[in-house]
Amino acid sequence: MGSGDRYGSDVLSTDWKAPKRGRSTEVEATPDLVVEDVQTGWCGAVVRVEKAGGMHVVHLEDRRGKTKAFPLGPGFLLDGKPVVLTPPTASQREALKAAKEAGRRTASGSVAVHDAKAKVASGSRIFVEGRHDAELVEKVWGHDLRVEGVVVEMLDGVDDLTAVIREFAPDRSRRMGVLVDHLVPGTKEAKIVEQARHAASPDHVLVVGHPYVDVWQSVRPERLGWSQWPVIPRGTSWKHGILAELGWPHSSQADVAHGWKRILSTVRTYADLEPSLLGRVEELIDFVTAPA
C-alpha cells in the first residue's frame, strides 16, 4: 500500500435552472472540455473537431458514450456561462488525435482495459454506508473494480461496524475496506471507527473516511453552479435543504432519490469529485487488491 502522500491525508489524522447570461467568451475546443449546447441541452466532452462543408464541426460525447456533432462557434455553455468555441491549436489537434488512438480512459482516470472479462469476485470487499455512496463509487470506479473482481457492499450506516467486521471475519486473503461518511474528530463516527479499528488486524481491515456530511458533498459544487456547498441550518434535513437551495422538489424521499440522480448525472469523471474522497477510495482499492 502506498504512502499517505499518495492518497492525501486521512480525515482523522448559480442557480441550476437559469444559468446567468452574459457576454460570450472565446474558448478553445480542447480534448475533454465539457460544454452544453444551448438549443438542444446536449452536454458532452469534446472528442474531436473536424472541417466539413467549409465549416468546423465539434463532436461532443455525453456520459452514456453517445456522440453528437455541432457547428463550432457560439451557442454553448461552459459551467453555466455562454462561450464561443474556437478551433483547437495544432498541439491540441494532436492531443485529440492521440486520445482517439490511445483509446478511452475510465471515469477514474485509469486506462480502460478493453475486451477483458470481469474477474470472478474475490473474497475481499469494500463497504460503504449507503446506496448513494455505492452508486457514486460504481460510476467512477466501476470499471476498475470489475477488472479486479472487487464487490462493493452497503452497510446502511456504521453504528454496528464492529459487529459487521466480526461477522465478515477478514483475514489475509479476505480483506475488508470501509468508507465512512463525516469522519472528523469528535464526531460519533470517529468514536465508532476508533472502536472498530480494534476489532481486527490492520493488515486485514482498513477503515477510512471523508469529512463531508453526506457523500453528495464530495461532488464539486461547480457541477451544480455553486462556488461552495450551502450551509443548511440545524433542524433542517440536510438533503432536503440542499434540494430546496437548488430549487428542486424536496418534500418526499422520492424527491431526494430523484435529486441525487440529477446530482450524480453531473459527475463525468474523477475530476468532478473532491480529492478528500478520491484519495480514500483509491486507498481502499489498493488495500483490498494487494497480494496476500
pLDDT of residue 257: 95
The CA distance from 155 to 273, in Å, is 22
Res. 236 pLDDT band, cuts 50 70 90: very high
Q: Which of 48-52, 105-109, 268-272 has the lowest mean pLDDT?
A: 105-109
pLDDT of residue 106: 67
Res. 1 pLDDT band, cuts 50 70 90: very low
pLDDT tens-digit map of 54-87: 678 888 887 667 788 888 999 998 877 899 999 8
Task: Kindly list the structural domains of the chain, giving each domain's residue range(s) and its CATH number in brackets, ordered by start.
Answer: 25-102 (2.30.30), 111-219+267-289 (3.40.50)
**Is the per-residue pLDDT at 14 higher than 50?**
no
**Is the per-residue pLDDT at 161 higher than 90?**
yes
Average pLDDT across the chain, whole number: 83
Res. 268 pLDDT band, cuts 50 70 90: confident
pLDDT tens-digit map of 128-155: 999 999 999 999 999 888 888 899 999 9
Q: Which of 89 and 123 is assigned the larger pLDDT?
A: 123
pLDDT tens-digit map of 19-56: 444 567 899 998 878 888 898 888 888 888 887 656 78
Instruction: Please state the pTM of the whole predicted model.
Output: 0.65
Per-residue pLDDT averaged across 201-224, rounded? 95
Per-residue pLDDT averaged across 196-215, rounded? 92
DSSP letters spanning 62-117: -TTS-EEEEESSSSEEETTEEEEEEPPPHHHHHHHHHHHHH-PBPTTSSBP-TT-P
Res. 112 pLDDT band, cuts 50 70 90: low
Res. 94 pLDDT band, cuts 50 70 90: low
* Strands lying side by side in the sheet with 81-86: 25-28, 81-86, 76-78, 34-37, 43-52, 55-61, 67-71
Contact assessment for residue 70 and residue 56, using Cβ atoms and an 8 Å cutoff: no
pLDDT tens-digit map of 169-194: 999 999 999 999 999 999 999 999 99
